[in-house]
C-alpha cells in the first residue's frame, strides 16, 4: 500500500479528555476517530490491526471446535422479557421502538438470542455438546464511556456459548474455552493473568476473567508470585499477617468508656487515642435486602460488598442512614459498637476474620463522642460469628503457599462463565436425553472484547514516540520510507524493495509522500510497525537503513540481503 493514498490523518495534539495512552496514540496515529462519546470509526490502519486480532480469535475458536455464526444486533423485547432481563438489565441496554411502537434492544450480549435459537433448532442429545460463537458489534450505554476503545458504547465482541447435556459436560467445554483464551492472549503478545472472579448472585459457579496488566485498568487483581493463585480483588482471599499489638493484653480491666469528641472516623480516632488503626474495630451498619446488618472489621481493612452479599445471601447491600442507625440500632453514626448490639433480636451481626482474637481493641460505645477501650474480643464478644468479609490488602499472604500477594491493575479483556441452566430454563431450551426424558441444556458463555484487546495491546506496547506493534497484530509488518521522492534512484530502489517484499508475502506500507524526512521518521515511529526500511542517499549503492521499532536497533543493509533478513526478523 502506498501511503500517499492512505487515509491516515495523524495528529500532533489530541483532545485533553483523551486520558489513556492507547486512546491518545490511536487518535494521534490516525487509527481511530470518535463519532460520539464511546463510539468510534476504525480508519484503515485501525481496522487492519483489529482484523488481525479477530483472525487469531477465529483461528483458536475454530481449533477448539466452536462454530462461527452471526446473530442480529436488533433484539425484540419479548425475548429479553422471557429471560427476565428486560427489567433487570437497566439503562445500559439501549432500547428503541420500531414504527409500530414495538420495543427492541440493541444487543448488549446474546444469551437470549442464542438460547432461543438453540431451543428451536436442537432437540436431541445427539447434537450436544455444541459451542457457537460470533464476532459482532455490541451496544452498551455505559455510565462512563472512557479511555477510547477500552470502554465504548459500541464495541466489537467475540461471544461464544456452549451447550451441554450435563454440568460435567459444561466443565469440559469451559476448560476448552479457557485453554483457547489462553492461546489467544498469548498470541496477541499481551501480558495477562487469568483470575478467579465472582460469579454474582445468579446461577453460575465458575468464572474467570482474563486481565491484561496495565495501570489504566479499572480492575484490581491480586496474584501470588510463587504459585498459580490469581483472583479479582472482589473474590481474592488472603491470610492476615500476624498482628503486632502495641498494647499489652490486660485481662483484668473491663471495657472502659472514653470521651472521644468528634473522633468519628478511624483516622481521627487513631490520632486522638494514639493507637494504630489495627487496634480499632470498625462497626458498619448496613441494610441487606432491607434488614439491619452490622459488620465488624479491623480498622485497617476494607469491606468487600460482594463477599458480604454472598455470606448473608442478599441481592442488595446499602449503608444505613443516620436516622436508621438511630431508630433501628439506637446508636449514633460514627460511634456504633458491637457491645449491646450483639445478640439483639432483629439485628444480624457478623465479624470479619480480621477481628478474631483482637486484644486491647477500641470500639464505638453507641453514644455520641464515646468509645470503649480495653476490649478483649474473645472475652467481651464471645458469641461473634466470623466470615471473610474484607478485601485482601497489601501484606496479606497467599492461602496456598504463604508468599506475599501482589496487587496489579488489569483490563478485563476476556471472560469465561458457567451459566448452568439459567437461560435454558427461563427460555425453555431443553433436549431429549437417551431415555427420551426432557432436560435443561447446560450452558456456558465466553466473551472477548476484540476492540478492547486492541487498546490493551497499545497500553502495553508503546514509548514516548508512538506505538510499538507486536508482529502478530501490526497493520503492516514493514514501513518502507523513501527519503526523497524526486530522486529517481531512490524511487527505483524503493519500488524494487516494495515488489520483492510484497511478493514474498510481507505487508508493506510505502511512505512515498512528498514530506520532509523528519515528518516521515516521526510518523513511522508513531505508527509503530516492527521494521522500518529507509531508502536514502545510499540508494545508488543499493544500501538501505533498517530500524527495529521495538529496540531501536539501527543498521545498514545491502538490498540483496534484505529478503533473507526480513524472513529471519519476522520468524
Residues lying near ligand ATP in the complex (CB under 6 A) are found at 109, 140, 142, 151-152, 155, 157, 412-415, 447, 449, 451-452
Specify the residue, 103 or 218, whose C-beta has the smaller distance to ligand ATP: 218
User: Among residues 231 and 562, whose Cβ is nearest to ligand ATP?
Assistant: 231
> Minimum distance from CB of 213 to ligand ATP (Å)?
14
Residue 95 or 268 with smaller CB distance to ligand ATP: 95
Pairing of strands 230-232, 219-223: antiparallel
Q: How far apart are alpha carbons 571 and 567 in whole angstroms?
A: 6
The least CB distance from residue 417 to ligand ATP, in Å, is: 7
Cα pseudo-dihedral 515, 474, 410, 139, rounded to 10: 90
Q: Would you state the cell numbers that stand for residue 16, as one nine-digit string?
A: 485533553
DSSP secondary structure, 82-138, as one string: HHTHHHHSGGGSEEEE-TTS-EEEE-S--HHHHHHHHHHH--BGGG-SEEEEEEEEE
DSSP state of 537: G
By beta-carbon proximity to ligand ATP, the closer residue of 269 and 450 is 450
Residue 52 makes CB contacts below 8 A (sequence gap 6+) with: 472, 473, 474, 475
Closest CA to 518 of 481, 564, 493: 481
Q: Cβ neighbours of residue 286 under 8 Å, at least 6 residues apart?
A: 292, 293, 294, 295, 308, 317, 318, 319, 320
CA atoms within 13 A on the CB side of 1: 15
Do 543 and 558 contact (CB within 8 A), yes or no?
yes
Residue partners of 411: CB distance under 8 A and separation at least 6: 150, 211, 212, 214, 216, 217, 218, 219, 452, 455, 456, 459
Q: Closest separation between CB of residue 391 and ligand ATP, Å?
A: 17
Place of cell 489462553: 182
**CB-nearer residue toward ligand ATP: 140 or 422:** 140
CB 9, min distance to ligand ATP, A:
23
Point out the residue whose Cβ comes nearest to ligand ATP.
Answer: 449
Residue 444 three-state SS: strand
What's the min distance (Å) between Cβ of 412 and ligand ATP?
A: 4
Residue with Cβ nearer ligand ATP (412 or 525)? 412
Which CB atom, from 449 or from 466, has the smaller least distance to ligand ATP?
449
| Least distance CB 107 / ligand ATP (angstroms) | 12
Buried b (16+ CB within 10 A) or exposed e, 522-556: bbbbbbbbbbbbbbbebbeebebbbbebeeeeeee
- CA-nearest of 193, 159, 227 to 417 is 159
Q: Tell me how far apart the alpha carbons of residues 192 and 446 are, in angstroms, rounded to a whole number.
A: 17
Provide, rounded to whole angstroms, the least separation between the CB of residue 514 and ligand ATP: 39
145 versus 466: smaller Cβ distance to ligand ATP? 145
Of 451 and 474, the one with the shorter C-beta distance to ligand ATP is 451
- DSSP assignments along 493-519, one per residue: HHHHHHHHHHHTT--EEEE-----HHH
SS3 164: strand
Among all chains, which residue has been given the C-alpha cell 447435556? Answer: 165
- Residue 24 CB, nearest distance to ligand ATP (Å)? 17
Q: Counting runs of H as helices and runs of E as strands, what totals does the chain give? A: 15, 31
Question: Closest CB to ligand ATP among 156 and 539?
Answer: 156
Q: Which is nearer to ligand ATP, 337 or 414 (CB)?
A: 414
Question: Shortest approach of ligand ATP to residue 307 CB, angstroms?
Answer: 18
Name the minimum Å distance from CB 450 to ligand ATP: 8
CB of 190 to ligand ATP, least distance (A): 12
Residues 107 and 75: their CA atoms lie apart, in Å, by 6
CB of 140 to ligand ATP, least distance (A): 5
- Smaller CB distance to ligand ATP: residue 109 or 115? 109
Quote the distance between the C-alpha of residue 5 and its chain's center.
37
Amino acid at each position: 500500500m502506498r501511503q500517499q493514498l492512505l487515509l491516515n490523518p495523524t495528529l500532533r495534539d489530541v483532545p485533553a479528555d483523551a486520558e489513556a495512552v492507547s486512546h491518545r496514540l490511536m487518535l494521534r496515529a490516525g487509527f481511530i476517530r470518535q463519532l460520539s462519546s464511546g463510539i468510534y470509526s476504525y480508519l484503515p490502519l485501525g481496522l487492519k490491526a483489529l482484523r488481525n486480532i479477530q483472525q487469531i480469535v477465529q483461528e483458536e475458536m475454530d481449533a477448539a471446535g466452536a462454530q462461527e455464526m452471526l446473530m442480529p444486533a436488533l433484539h425484540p423485547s419479548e425475548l429479553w422479557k422471557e429471560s427476565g432481563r428486560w427489567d433487570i438489565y437497566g439503562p445500559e441496554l439501549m432500547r428503541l421502538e420500531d414504527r409500530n411502537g414495538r420495543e427492541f434492544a440493541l444487543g448488549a450480549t446474546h444469551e437470549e438470542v442464542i438460547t432461543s435459537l438453540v431451543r428451536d433448532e436442537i432437540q436431541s442429545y445427539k447434537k450436544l455438546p455444541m459451542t457457537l460463537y460470533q464476532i459482532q458489534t455490541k451496544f452498551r450505554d455505559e455510565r462512563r464511556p472512557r479511555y477510547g476503545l477500552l470502554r465504548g458504547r459500541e464495541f466489537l465482541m467475540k461471544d461464544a456459548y456452549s451447550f451441554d447435556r450435563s454440568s460435567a459436560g459444561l466443565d469440559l467445554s469451559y476448560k476448552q474455552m479457557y485453554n483457547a483464551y489462553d492461546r489467544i492472549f498469548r498470541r496477541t503478545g499481551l501480558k495477562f493473568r487469568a483470575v478467579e472472579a465472582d460469579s454474582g448472585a445468579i446461577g453460575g459457579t465458575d468464572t474467570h476473567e482474563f486481565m491484561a496488566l496495565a495501570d489504566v485498568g479499572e480492575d484490581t487483581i491480586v496474584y501470588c508470585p510463587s504459585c498459580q493463585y490469581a483472583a479479582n480483588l472482589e473474590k481474592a482471599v488472603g491470610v492476615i499477617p500476624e498482628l503486632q499489638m502495641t498494647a499489652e493484653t490486660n485481662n483484668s480491666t473491663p471495657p472502659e468508656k472514653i470521651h472521644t469528641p468528634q473522633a468519628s472516623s478511624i483516622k481521627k480516632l487513631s490520632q486522638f487515642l494514639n493507637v494504630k488503626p489495627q487496634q480499632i474495630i470498625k462497626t458498619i451498619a448496613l441494610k441487606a435486602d432491607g434488614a439491619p446488618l452490622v459488620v465488624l472489621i479491623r480498622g485497617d481493612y476494607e469491606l468487600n460488598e460482594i463477599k458480604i452479599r454472598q455470606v448473608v445471601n442478599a441481592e442488595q447491600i446499602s449503608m444505613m442512614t443516620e436516622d436508621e442507625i438511630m431508630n433501628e440500632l439506637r446508636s449514633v453514626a460514627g460511634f456504633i459498637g458491637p457491645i449491646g448490639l450483639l445478640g439483639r433480636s432483629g439485628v444480624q451481626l457478623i465479624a470479619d476474620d480480621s477481628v478474631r482474637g483482637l486484644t486491647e481493641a477500641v470500639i464505638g460505645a453507641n453514644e455520641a463522642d464515646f468509645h470503649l477501650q480495653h476490649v478483649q474480643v474473645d472475652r467481651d464478644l464471645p458469641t461473634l460469628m466470623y466470615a471473610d468479609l474484607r478485601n485482601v490488602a497489601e501484606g496479606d499472604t497467599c492461602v496456598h503457599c504463604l508468599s506475599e500477594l501482589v496487587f496489579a491493575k488489569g483490563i478485563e479483556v476476556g471472560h469465561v462463565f458457567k451459566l448452568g441452566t439459567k437461560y435454558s430454563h427461563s427460555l425453555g431450551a431443553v433436549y431429549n436425553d437417551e431415555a427420551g426424558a426432557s432436560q435443561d441444556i447446560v450452558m456456558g458463555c465466553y466473551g472477548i472484547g476484540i476492540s478492547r484487546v486492541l487498546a490493551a495491546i497499545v497500553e502495553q506496547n508503546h514509548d514516548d514516540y508512538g506505538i510499538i506493534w507486536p508482529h502478530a497484530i501490526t497493520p503492516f509488518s514493514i514501513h518502507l520510507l523513501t527519503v526523497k521522492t524526486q530522486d529517481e534512484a531512490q524511487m527505483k530502489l524503493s519500488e524494487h524493495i516494495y515488489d520483492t517484499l510484497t511478493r514474498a508475502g510481507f505487508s508493506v506500507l510505502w511512505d512515498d509522500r512528498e514530506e520532509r524526512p523528519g515528518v516521515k521518521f516521526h510518523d513511522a515511529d508513531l505508527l509503530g510497525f516492527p521494521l522500518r526500511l529507509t531508502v536514502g542517499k545510499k540508494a545508488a549503492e543499493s544500501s538501505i537503513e533498517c530500524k527495529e521499532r521495538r529496540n531501536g536497533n539501527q543498521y545498514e543493509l545491502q538490498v540483496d540481503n534484505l529478503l533473507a533478513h526480513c524472513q529471519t526478523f519476522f520468524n
